Amino acid sequence: MSDLFRKKCSGPVSRRDFMKIGTLGLGGISLGEFLKAKAAAGPAFDDPDTSVIFVWLPGGPPHMETFDMKPDAPADYRGIFNPISTNVDGLSICELMPRLARTADRYNIIRSIAHNFADHGGGHKRFMTGRIPKTPVNTVNDAPAVGSIVSKWFEHRDVGIPNYICNAPNGRHGVDVFAMGSAYLGPSYTPFTVPGNPDDEKFEVKNVALSKDVEGRLDDRATLLAGFDRLRRDIDQTGLMGAQDRFHEKAVGLITNNRTRDAFDLSKEPDELRNKYGRHCWGQRALLARRLVEAGSKFVTMVMENPYKSGVEWLKNGTYNWDSHAVNCHLFDDAKVRLPILDRAIATLIEDLYDRGLDKKVLLVVTGEFGRTPRISVTKGSQTGVDQPGRDHWPQAMSVLVSGGGMRTGQVIGSTNSKGEHPHERPLTPCDFWATIYNHLGINPAHEYPDYSGRPMPILPFGEPIHELT
């Protein structure tokens, strides 16, 4: 572990410690008194104004069709697309991403991160937690996701918006789908999950859990917004907040706070900007992410897996996520649809963050759990019934885009060999990557939290911040 992170740090005040401050009765404390006491119990270290937008591409995006092209490799490796120059000398990316080519001076590409877990479950857990998973399959965490660590570390913050938020497709928003669980930290540190498409006119934030006694006081429970004002009055009149545990207290606070409502309300953005991002779920998730970190959230995950459920015409030989086996999709035809959508959303997000002066506060990450096999395979497609090209799982090489965070940009960090098979220069691990993220957020990765058995576990078992990014 780098000396950078060996500074003594008290860490956040625990709920147990906080509850020792005075005698907080269940019925007699006002909301103002509660928040005042909690503020007095805050941590003994600075709270940097930093955040992370984590764009998750589950399934494994092909590094050879995106940010690590090999035009001189044999035909069965290089694919059909050509690299194009960017506004950074020596950096080229796929021709299907011209907007990102024009924005390359505002991001870095890391080409040399690798690990050893080729199953989706193992890959998700290895990347999402920064730990080597106990089992190479399934996505149920045996260690806390990084977002959960962030939520725990900053639990003292009361800014009116959750520290850890995830927007994911309907039906795939559970914390175990993408290894976003909190493991031994407990359920209070799972993400505030918001399913659905933010571009949908009927999109709303529904999933705030209330205790039955509070829930029963809502006159209109048909929609979340219908109960806002009434619930606020109930709390002011009865002091029910004092009867809620920490989880429920935060839930009530979320839906009675204008900041949360406003952050999720994309109608407040001009149509011109919304159109620039793209009027589909990927574009609007990117815009929503900017609004959420601007409102104060610390770690925002946006899942971008299925472009075909957001106003994009379904491609028969396409696939719902980035798992581009030949049996799942025609790699190149799917990329012709998928990559321009990603290009538009991410390039606009980068420009928006910089234009709004958020480039030092916000660190943007775009990645999946691994790359794809450098050598192309040909298999009969399950949807088409004809032979088509694809790539399989490949954790030995992957590309990660990072932008903002006050770092020097316009860099290519590391490289793979001539066929894109494995790191050639500057080999890195997911732990090095997360050490960099923790550095940005002001989190000490040597700090320990007890696991299920009470054994103290460091936030990160090993890893060094990537010095080019710090």
Q: Which residue did the predictor score with more confidence, 302 or 254?
A: 302
> Which pLDDT tens digit goes with each residue over 351-377?
999 999 999 999 999 999 999 999 999
Neighbour tally for 401: CB within 10 Å: 21
How far is residue 241 CA from its own chain's centroid?
30
The answer to whether 331 and 391 are in contact (CB under 8 A) is yes
Half-sphere exposure of 189 (CA within 13 A, CB side): 24
What backbone phi and psi angles, to 5 degrees, belong to 387?
-65, 140
Q: Which residue did the predictor score with more confidence, 16 or 95?
A: 95
Mean pLDDT of the chain: 85
Phi-psi region of 343 (alpha: psi -120 to 50; beta: other; left: phi over 0): alpha
Residue 420 above 70 pLDDT? yes
Could you list the residue range(s) of the whole structural domain that residue 368 is in?
3-469
pLDDT at position 230 = 52
The pLDDT-based confidence of 204 (bands split at 50, 70, 90) is confident
Q: Residue 323: name the closest of 306, 345, 337, 302 by CA.
A: 306
CATH code, domain carrying 228: 3.40.720.10
Residue 217 above 50 pLDDT? no
CB neighbour list of residue 352: distance below 8 Å, 6 or more residues apart? 273, 277, 287, 290
pLDDT at position 310 = 67
pLDDT at position 5 = 45
How far is residue 440 CA from its own chain's centroid?
15
Q: Which of 305-309, 378-382, 408-412 has the lowest mean pLDDT?
A: 305-309
Q: What percent of the chain has pLDDT over 90?
A: 73
Q: Count of domains in the chain?
A: 1
> Which pLDDT tens digit goes with each residue over 398-412?
999 999 999 999 999
Residue 463 above 70 pLDDT? yes
Distance CA(193)–CA(157), nearest Å, equals: 19
Residue 207 above 70 pLDDT? no
> Which pLDDT tens digit goes with each residue over 24-43?
333 444 444 434 443 444 44
Half-sphere exposure of 104 (CA within 13 A, CB side): 21
Residue 253 above 90 pLDDT? no
The pLDDT-based confidence of 254 (bands split at 50, 70, 90) is low
The pLDDT-based confidence of 10 (bands split at 50, 70, 90) is very low
- Averaged over 313-317, what is the pLDDT? 89
Residue 145 above 50 pLDDT? yes
What backbone phi and psi angles, to 5 degrees, belong to 182?
-95, -5
Strands lying side by side in the sheet with 299-303: 192-195, 164-168, 299-303, 51-56, 362-367, 398-404, 107-113, 412-413
The answer to whether 237 and 149 are in contact (CB under 8 A) is no
The pLDDT-based confidence of 248 (bands split at 50, 70, 90) is low
**Structure tokens belonging to residue 328:** 């799942």
- Averaged over 87-98, what is the pLDDT? 97
- Averaged over 104-126, what is the pLDDT? 98
pLDDT at position 466 = 98
- Averaged over 302-324, what is the pLDDT? 89
Residue 240 above 50 pLDDT? no
Distance CA(96)–CA(349), nearest Å, equals: 17
pLDDT at position 225 = 47
Report pTM. 0.84
